[in-house]
Amino acid sequence: MPIELKVPSVGESVTEVEIGDWLKAEGDSIEKDENVVVIESEKATVELPAPVSGKLVKIRKRTGESAHVGEVVGEIEQEEVASPPSRKKPAGPKHAEGRLPGETDKPPAAAESEAQESKAAPAEPSGDGRESRENSQQEPLAMPAAATSAAPPVRSEEVIRMNLWRRTLAKRLVQAKQEAALLTTFNEIDMSTIAELRQKYSKPFQEKYQTKLGLMSFFAKASVDALKEFPQVNAEVRGESVVYRNYCDIGIAVSTDKGLVVPILRHTERLSFAELEKSIADLAQRARENKLQPEDLEGGTFTITNGGVFGSLVSTPIVNPPQSAILGLHAIQERPVAREGQVVIRPMMYVALTYDHRIIDGREAVLFLRRVKETIEDPARMLIEA
């Protein structure tokens, strides 16, 4: 009896999924625990492994079709232990009795005559060839075809249905624009101190913790510091109430080939720089390999996104509902700035805070972003004011 492949549970509130790419075709052999098909939900993408070894005999749900949790999407014929095949001596070429390979019934003289005929050159044309040359001279030369006008360029369109992940993301972003009163404020940060710290401590940090000292951990720490100072930025509108939190679950936006995902760093306020860097690297790698679990994406009280890795200079990020704010980082550029009456060149970064004006006033938003700026430009204050 075939073994059924069923849609697994991919999240507490997820009841319907979309079938992604089939990694095996009907008739393919499959090893136990080998991934067979990609399952996409509104929260995560998971790969469904084979429960047994065998052959994929039937695909019930094709790529792009919807399926409910627990529904059968394919069938596997379990592999049976077969007896080893018997080995037979391969049969040699059959020849007529008493005849060697290549030997014929024709007499030697006839065979030699045929061989000579087959090797002879083509017959010469009759006559001395003058008539043929004269005729060839009288024939008109073939002229190249007249140049035709260039063909018009081919105009084509390709319609591809958005996957469930992209459709859900689109709905959430539209929801944020429609339901929240979004506003963005900007500032710029001098990254000189952070650059010096990274240059000085990157090598010993990596040798001790086996991970790089990046920028995101500094901004995560600075955000936690500012969220404690301005708790409404870490809050959520729930009906006619505001929910304040005494913890910081910060989402780190990661770009993948299937779209943007925001895995969550739980209790960011408790993590050290090394723990932050390791967690960020792990989440980013699993996101790009489609190995995130639904629980990795659930919740979150605040988000940081870094468009600077793609060269973005200024942007207005969109809040990830039901969160109330998002911090956008941008490319670092050397620019002339005034310092103590002198114009100097410094590595500068524009930062943006998009926030829900329903619970965050402009004053708090501006002061929050200024607090992040001051912390990044003078990281030692985090140790003194902790």
Crossing angle (nearest 10°) for helices 192-209 and 362-377: 60
206 within 8 A of 213, measured Cβ to Cβ: yes
In angstroms, the CA 86 to CA 204 distance is 63
Pairing of strands 45-49, 35-40: antiparallel
Q: Where are the beta strands (DSSP E) in 33-178?
A: 35-40, 45-49, 54-59, 66-68, 72-78
Give kind and range of the element (H or E) at residue 288.
helix 273-288
In angstroms, the CA 320 to CA 180 distance is 11
Residues marked active site are found at 357, 361
DSSP 3-state of 176: helix
In angstroms, the CA 303 to CA 251 distance is 4
What DSSP state is assigned to residue 132?
H
74 within 8 A of 56, measured Cβ to Cβ: yes
